[in-house]
Structure 1
Amino acid sequence: MFRNAGKPFLTACPASPRFIPHSSTNPLEPMKDLIIIGAGAIGSAAARTLAQYELDILVLEKESDVGEVTSSANSAIVHSGYDPVPGSEKAAMNVRGNLLYDQMCEELDIDMRKIGSLTIATNDEEVEILRGLEERGRQNGVPVQMLSREETLALEPNLTPEVKLALLAPTAGIVNTFELCVALMENAMDNGVKLNLNEAVTGIRAIEGGYEVTTNRAVYQTRAVVNAAGLFSDEINNFVNPVKYEIQPRKGEYFVLDHFDPDFIRHTIFTVPSSKGKGILVSPTTHGNYILGPSAEFVEEKDDYSTDGETLAQVLATAKKLVPSIPMNQVIREFSGLRAVEKSGHFIIEESLPGFVNLVGIQSPGLTSCPAIAEEVVKFLSNTMEMKKKEDFNPRRRPMVRLNRMTPEERAEFVKKNPKFGNIICRCEMVSEGEVLDCIHRNCGAATIRGVKRRVRPGMGKCQGGFCQPRIIKILARELGIKNEDVRMKSPGSFILMGETK
């Protein structure tokens, strides 16, 4: 029977039991210590850091998964910190965040590598800009080194021969941004934080001793609020704060290339930055793909993820000025992401009202800054409530099984003991059934096709899910106890199957 026979087509499918949103409006429910609004990199980092304390914490996320918006569609760069204006909030958070990344990623088994970045100058005007960036880096306390043309081409022989100078920032890195958000929230939940997905905040008002937060599903009372709502952080602020903010979405469009040659480019390669951002980059990713982009244009709508040929052509033309031999026959996908740019252009990190912490306008380098921003949240909340550390806090996430990092001998021995890891579901990325099952049955586990894709990569390869997606649908249906036609791509209503044909 087809879904739209006798009932609306766009009906929400049953949620995973772990993710049934809280729906009580019982006025006798105890006041929570803290509600965090938003589960991107910033909100998830705050949740994980605050999970160290004896607090009753609820995270509200309007999307169907963590890291679903800005945090999943960006350049995935751990910035060194040479670019922000010295003395600014961005500079402080960027540099501190970079320092915290190594320990955070080691504890949470997040794929992150400090491969370094090269910012390239190809003419005299760009050389002057580069020298200014070198000085900024020194003022920010970031290790940087100016390289000659010969030194640059020795490191990266596929760069344009027109390079004059390059600024090397060895502490820059790349990170699996999907895994980052999931790992942060998983560890927070392992330590007692509660996550409600598909729950949008529709109002906030101050009450005695805290705030009343109204959502599309419930009404809560809480002693404190952390606004980490990204593109919608202005709207959350404007519910309650007399000082109003305005987010202006800035769209960036990208190309993704297949993993064709591990030595094609070894560093993240930047053009010199402009007022619109850090410029176009060419960079490897943690999984061996290459990424080109982004563009930078303000858009009106906060859900405008369209791409267009003209903009992508400009991205490619600029990228080829850096690396002329980019093989466009290796492109497997284009995508776009939106940055949450507050009209002032600044990071707004403040306790705007007692117990109301604003994290507004956290654009690039927000991904790098997230652990440092989380530290600032702790400082603000210490003004409102007692922050007593838990004795049993566990900072470590259960490690992921990564078959592609095992030797053939190690893999054979592991599969012998765990046969489901020998059943390959995705041939492009060599993802096994065991890895898919593992990513479903964790705190903050996958409950959608895109959730599985972003955690363990089936569908990320050249065929973009053509082979593995039917298998992923069957596994999700089986493990979540739902019908195949109730499995969603991502948000409620995004069904793949309409119903049985026989």
Structure 2
Amino acid sequence: MIYDFVIIGAGITGTIIARELSRYKVKILLAEKENDVSMGATKANSAIVHGGYDDKHGTLKSKLCYKGRLSFEKYNSELNFGYRKTGSLVVGFNEEDRETLYNIYENGLKNGVDDIRILEQKEILEMEPALNPEIKYALYCEGAGVCSPYEFAIALAENAVENGTVLKLNSKVTDIKKCGDYNYNVTYEENINGRAENNTVSTRYVINAAGIYSDVISETVNKKNFTINPRKGEYILFARDTGNILNNVIFQTPSKLGKGVLVTSTYHGNLLIGPDAQNDSGREDTGTEKENLEQILKRAEHVTKEFDLKTFIRTFSGLRAAADTGDFIIEETESKGFINAAGIQSPGLTSSPAAAEVIIEIIKNSGFELMEKDNFNPYRKPLIKKKTKEDMLSVQEVNRLLESEIPEEKIICRCEQVTEKTILDSLRRGIRVTSTDGVKRRTRAGMGWCQGSFCRERVREIIEKEYGISVNSNEDVQNSGINRVGKTELGKQSFWNI
């Protein structure tokens, strides 16, 4: 097979590049070593659409963050992945914090951010009554927001596939051979039903968006010029509607001890607290530790104590692809046609639309003519709708619909009230979803109080019937990359008494 572009890694960076390149008359292969898209940092981060004010002026991060932020409404209108503008506050308690906030404000102005201002105590507490009344100052950014990052990557991948991109899951790139300028042979090991098969394809360009393995991929054909040091961050997630205590994303003023933890509502209304920063993590360490979580809670309580530990449902961690350069690495390398999109940590999600533009410009400047398609379809129909309290059925009504024979009515996940029709829709969108974890990210089936204890087997049966395959549900849970702390350790109780 001969391609114009092979993109390695199907996180937010790889999927948005694939989607934007699919506008053109080109052949694209998107290769991902896991069994689904968005399986790295994309599914385990803070989900914040950052303001763009705090990245050091002059860095690539500072140039791309604000520009990327301005694209989110358009992307959401086309792809329906879940985004809302909330605003953000960086809160401070003393004069030292006030000075830091003004420095961030000045940096933001240099970055072109035009919707920031410094607030004082009265206005802060009127805006956010649940905050610690000892807070005296805050930097407010009107345009910051939240989104569902894994749904964004899924939507991008679905749209890219609809527009002609070939997506290969369970396909780990094992070798890249340079055969000349703008000529590479890429070998990947594809796992098909437990059987490994080696395939080699030719391509004019390789785009390295391999996250925490991007340095390893780069070194297959380039001299070593950067190292990825995975930085782990742990989080605590609370139940639906717990995020209603806040209107804005709440950050703490950075200090010598770090940035502190953030407290926010997710797009779907869950309270989210975290992350910490652990710089000595391995590339596969996604565990969570009780001691770390207790420290996160303690630091969050400095901002607000208006959350109830009995409503926590899940802990998880993500590995950020921190490069030793301290900045994003988006460039054509010494090997012509090999492009790195590496070191994409925070604010990588926010910056992703602008990062894709940089990649497109690099390709054009290299002499490759990108001709737009006449039939490019930028739209992806919505899969799920954000539910409010008013949308939720009563327990009695849910129980009645559990055994319905009508897919549009039959409830599969009772906590999040997901129907069989929605789950079938998620399986029929051009990407083969072979795990209950993959269905969860698309439909929220398994994201509620019981965390899949009730619906996981029901979802597995639908997948098996739809595709005619066998799904190992125990292995599926183990490989989900999300960790759970015992009920008694942080005080969890279940609405469904499971």
**Taking structure 2 as the reference length, what is the TM-score of the superposition?**
0.88
SS in 1 for 2:476: coil
Where in structure 2 are the equivalents of 1:84-95 lying within 5 Å?
A: 84-95=55-66
Question: Over aligned residues, Cα RMSD in angstroms?
Answer: 2.3
SS in 1 for 2:267: coil
Q: Is 1:466 equivalent to 2:453 in the alignment?
A: yes
Alignment partner for residue 185 of structure 2, among 212, 234, 245? Answer: 212
Instruction: Find the counterpart in structure 1 of residue 78 from structure 2.
Output: 107
Instruction: Find the counterpart in structure 2 of residue 391 from structure 1.
Output: 374
Cα offset, 1:366, TM superposition: 0.2
Alignment partner for residue 369 of structure 1, among 326, 351, 362? Answer: 351
Alignment partner for residue 423 of structure 1, among 382, 402, 410? Answer: 410
For residues 93 and 473 of structure 1, the distance between their equivalents in structure 2, rounded to whole angstroms, comes to 41
Q: Is the contact between residue 39 and residue 60 of structure 1 (CA under 8 Å) also seen in structure 2? A: yes
For residues 487 and 439 of structure 1, the distance between their equivalents in structure 2, rounded to whole angstroms, comes to 21
Alignment partner for residue 433 of structure 1, among 385, 396, 420? Answer: 420
Cα offset, 1:272, TM superposition: 1.4
Instruction: Find the counterpart in structure 2 of residue 254 from structure 1.
Output: 235
Where in structure 2 are the equivalents of 1:54-453 lying within 5 Å?
A: 54-142=25-113, 143-208=115-180, 209-216=182-189, 217-261=198-242, 263-274=244-255, 278-352=259-333, 353-382=335-364, 383-402=366-385, 404=387, 419-453=406-440
Where in structure 2 are the equivalents of 1:471-490 lying within 5 Å?
A: 471-483=458-470, 485=472, 489=476
Letter in 1 for 2:381: R
For residues 159 and 137 of structure 2, the distance between their equivalents in structure 1, rounded to whole angstroms, comes to 43
Q: Is the contact between residue 237 and residue 244 of structure 1 (CA under 8 Å) also seen in structure 2? A: no
Q: Is the contact between residue 307 and residue 334 of structure 1 (CA under 8 Å) also seen in structure 2? A: yes
For residues 470 and 166 of structure 2, the distance between their equivalents in structure 1, rounded to whole angstroms, comes to 27
For residues 474 and 371 of structure 2, the distance between their equivalents in structure 1, rounded to whole angstroms, comes to 42
Q: Is the contact between residue 448 and residue 487 of structure 1 (CA under 8 Å) also seen in structure 2? A: no
Cα offset, 1:299, TM superposition: 2.2
Q: How many pairs does the alignment contain? A: 460
SS in 2 for 1:385: coil
Cα offset, 1:406, TM superposition: 11
For residues 111 and 299 of structure 2, the distance between their equivalents in structure 1, rounded to whole angstroms, comes to 28
The 3 A distance-change label for structure 1 pair 40 and 490 is farther
114-123 or 321-330, which moves further after superposition? 321-330
Q: Is the contact between residue 476 and residue 487 of structure 1 (CA under 8 Å) also seen in structure 2? A: no
Cα offset, 1:202, TM superposition: 1.1
SS in 2 for 1:94: helix
Moved over 6 A (4+): 405-409, 490-494
Letter in 2 for 1:210: N
Cα offset, 1:480, TM superposition: 1.1
Instruction: Find the counterpart in structure 1 of residue 485 from structure 2.
Output: none
* Deviation sequence 1:144-173 (CA, Å, 0-9, x none): 011110100001101001101011111111
Q: Is the contact between residue 243 and residue 266 of structure 2 (CA under 8 Å) also seen in structure 1? A: no
Q: Is the contact between residue 93 and residue 369 of structure 1 (CA under 8 Å) also seen in structure 2? A: yes
Instruction: Find the counterpart in structure 2 of residue 19 from structure 1.
Output: none
Letter in 2 for 1:390: K
* Deviation sequence 1:426-471 (CA, Å, 0-9, x none): 1111111111110011122522110001111111111111111110
Cα offset, 1:319, TM superposition: 0.4
For residues 129 and 312 of structure 1, the distance between their equivalents in structure 2, rounded to whole angstroms, comes to 27
The 3 A distance-change label for structure 1 pair 181 and 82 is same
* Deviation sequence 1:174-221 (CA, Å, 0-9, x none): 001110010001000010000001111111121034111122221111
Q: Is the contact between residue 260 and residue 330 of structure 1 (CA under 8 Å) also seen in structure 2? A: no
The 3 A distance-change label for structure 1 pair 390 and 275 is farther
Letter in 2 for 1:348: I
The 3 A distance-change label for structure 1 pair 488 and 214 is same
Letter in 2 for 1:378: I
Structure 1 runs not aligned, ≥5 long: 1-28, 495-502
For residues 406 and 400 of structure 1, the distance between their equivalents in structure 2, rounded to whole angstroms, comes to 19
Letter in 1 for 2:121: R
Cα offset, 1:123, TM superposition: 1.8
Cα offset, 1:136, TM superposition: 1.1
Cα offset, 1:42, TM superposition: 0.2
For residues 70 and 226 of structure 1, the distance between their equivalents in structure 2, rounded to whole angstroms, comes to 18
Q: Is the contact between residue 249 and residue 264 of structure 2 (CA under 8 Å) also seen in structure 1? A: yes
Q: Is the contact between residue 158 and residue 429 of structure 2 (CA under 8 Å) also seen in structure 1? A: yes
Q: Is the contact between residue 460 and residue 473 of structure 2 (CA under 8 Å) also seen in structure 1? A: no
Q: Is the contact between residue 449 and residue 487 of structure 1 (CA under 8 Å) also seen in structure 2? A: no
The 3 A distance-change label for structure 1 pair 302 and 261 is closer
For residues 356 and 204 of structure 2, the distance between their equivalents in structure 1, rounded to whole angstroms, comes to 18
